[in-house]
Chain A
């Protein structure tokens, strides 16, 4: 396994002390972002998100399922993630390992807890038939921060999704045929942002090297100042002051990323028009 060597770690820390990063970004600066939707025509909704050299593909598929006993009139959500060996020399084929499982679960909660999808509208027959929404995340190139890229991709793909045609007589889905009806989702754009602690500094959107030397991380899913999900990762403690610093950074960072997302859509749109 190729890991970032400790000498690089020292240099990254030295740079951060001076407020600098290898690629010339500020500590709270996101890389260039682009979003393209409708990238896989057989999916109900799909999105390709690029953050710098990091790239993820997210697709939404829907099928009829049975509701859970505790929510007979609500649809289901299932998020899976695969870290494709195609995307990095570090990933191998086989059953999903911890990073892929954590990624999927963090994104799952990010979507679920902010009530982004209106699950009541996904009920076909109470207690018997509901829509199950599958959100499948694939890494295409891993240069750090797959977590945030996947979060943005999942929201973009869900916003892009159209509900498939449903055959009432047979009670089955007509695969490959979509209605014009969009999936019932909120208008705003919940973003999950991951803050990394390296030395005494807090950074966002780490590259692969920076993510390797990160001591601990906190992922916060929020929209317009309301936090709906949070997860701390890695076994390193965080001071209360440091944590407060992260919370103070949240609003400004969210606004910056939201602007980047809006621009990210436009960049792809312009490329298409040209």
Chain B
């Protein structure tokens, strides 16, 4: 009897191992379904700015600088009752494999606005009537997940600039490859993966107490699957928050501003 049990356990073990292996082989990078790319962060990289930060996720590198709060020009755009957050997302021409023309385009204009929406809920803009805070986000190297990396860098830069924040925000994408929910799509998974139901990209931003400030979905997904993806990203956002917090702490201890 005992021997039989042991045998069954062995088979079970084998099966689970096999299952994990299946899940692993589904991702070209060899990552597990809920494994994000290695991340790192640095605060205080641009001496001219009031606040600045770098966030790297795998091969994606974003840098952000904050200027302000300062006088809002032109006057006609000034909001007398509260401050304005002005985000600009820009990709360097050589950050992608096929060179993009320098300057803004329709995609970057939309992402700029979305990043602003993701950050604004944690800022106290009513404290700065008539003022503007400029957040400049630039992608040095892009390998999918650029808006998430940009939001993470921008949030750290805002904190570094000493702008009062109710909370930190951390951003990460979930995805769906065929029928499997995975975390943090890379370039291949985002744009080249084909097979079954194809790939779905779901960038999400959380405050560190779990409120949602930004979500987008591109692909197709059921409600149940989306809920699973939300859980997965919520866990990952906590890890990102720890990295952001550590980077901010490191910038205080004798580091140059």
The residue in chain A whose Cβ has the minimal distance to the Cβ of B59 is: A41
- B92 touching A40, Cβ below 8 Å: yes
- Indicate whether B95 reaches chain A with its CB closer than 8 angstroms: yes
- A141 touching B46, Cβ below 8 Å: yes
Residues facing A in B91-115 (CB within 8 A) are: 92-99, 102-104
- B88 touching A136, Cβ below 8 Å: no
A53 and B49 alpha carbons, distance in the complex (Å): 12
- A42 touching B95, Cβ below 8 Å: yes
The residue in chain B whose Cβ has the minimal distance to the Cβ of A80 is: B102
Chain A residue numbers with a CB within 8 Å of B200 are: none
- A89 touching B140, Cβ below 8 Å: no
- Indicate whether B134 reaches chain A with its CB closer than 8 angstroms: yes
Chain A residue numbers with a CB within 8 Å of B138 are: 84, 86, 138
Evaluate whether A140 and B63 lie within 8 angstroms (CB atoms) in the complex, with A84-B136, A84-B138 already known: yes
- Secondary structure call for the B interface: loop
Residues facing A in B25-59 (CB within 8 A) are: 46-49, 59
A134 and B136 alpha carbons, distance in the complex (Å): 24
Evaluate whether A59 and B90 lie within 8 angstroms (CB atoms) in the complex, with A86-B65, A93-B104, A141-B47 already known: no
Residues facing A in B47-99 (CB within 8 A) are: 47-49, 59, 61, 63-65, 67, 70, 88, 90, 92-99
- A86 touching B49, Cβ below 8 Å: yes
- Indicate whether A204 reaches chain B with its CB closer than 8 angstroms: no
Evaluate whether A86 and B141 lie within 8 angstroms (CB atoms) in the complex, with A40-B92, A136-B93, A175-B97 already known: no
- Indicate whether A74 reaches chain B with its CB closer than 8 angstroms: no
- B93 touching A57, Cβ below 8 Å: no
- B93 touching A80, Cβ below 8 Å: yes
The residue in chain A whose Cβ has the minimal distance to the Cβ of B139 is: A40
- Indicate whether A122 reaches chain B with its CB closer than 8 angstroms: no
Among B46, B90, B104, B142, which residue has its beta carbon within 8 angstroms of that of A42? B142
CB proximity of A43 to chain B, nearest CB, Å: 4
Evaluate whether A42 and B63 lie within 8 angstroms (CB atoms) in the complex, with A63-B99, A87-B46, A143-B48 already known: no
B219-245: CB near A (< 8 Å → 1, else 0) gives 000000000000000000000000000
- Indicate whether A103 reaches chain B with its CB closer than 8 angstroms: no
CB proximity of A146 to chain B, nearest CB, Å: 12
B133-151: CB near A (< 8 Å → 1, else 0) gives 0101110111100000000
A69 and B47 alpha carbons, distance in the complex (Å): 46
The residue in chain B whose Cβ has the minimal distance to the Cβ of A39 is: B140
- Indicate whether A176 reaches chain B with its CB closer than 8 angstroms: yes
A134 and B98 alpha carbons, distance in the complex (Å): 12
Residues facing B in A81-99 (CB within 8 A) are: 82, 84-89, 93, 95
- In the assembled complex, 28 residue pairs joining A and B whose CB atoms fall closer than 8 Å, in A order, are A40-B95, A41-B59, A41-B141, A42-B141, A42-B142, A43-B95, A53-B47, A57-B92, A59-B94, A60-B94, A61-B94, A84-B136, A85-B67, A85-B136, A86-B49, A86-B64, A87-B46, A87-B48, A88-B48, A89-B48, A95-B103, A134-B93, A138-B138, A140-B63, A141-B47, A142-B48, A143-B48, A176-B98
Q: Which residues of B line the A interface, CB within 8 A?
A: 46-49, 59, 61, 63-65, 67, 70, 88, 90, 92-99, 102-104, 134, 136-138, 140-143
Known interface pairs A84-B90, A86-B136, A134-B93; 19 further A-B residue pairs with C-beta atoms within 8 A, sorted by A's residue number:
A40-B95, A40-B140, A42-B94, A43-B95, A46-B94, A57-B92, A59-B95, A82-B102, A84-B136, A84-B138, A86-B63, A87-B48, A93-B104, A136-B94, A140-B63, A141-B48, A141-B49, A143-B48, A176-B97
The 6 closest A-B pairs by CB, nearest first: A59-B94, A176-B97, A43-B94, A86-B136, A61-B99, A175-B97
Q: Which residues of A line the B interface, CB within 8 A?
A: 39-44, 46, 53, 55, 57, 59-61, 63, 80, 82, 84-89, 93, 95, 134, 136, 138, 140-143, 175-176
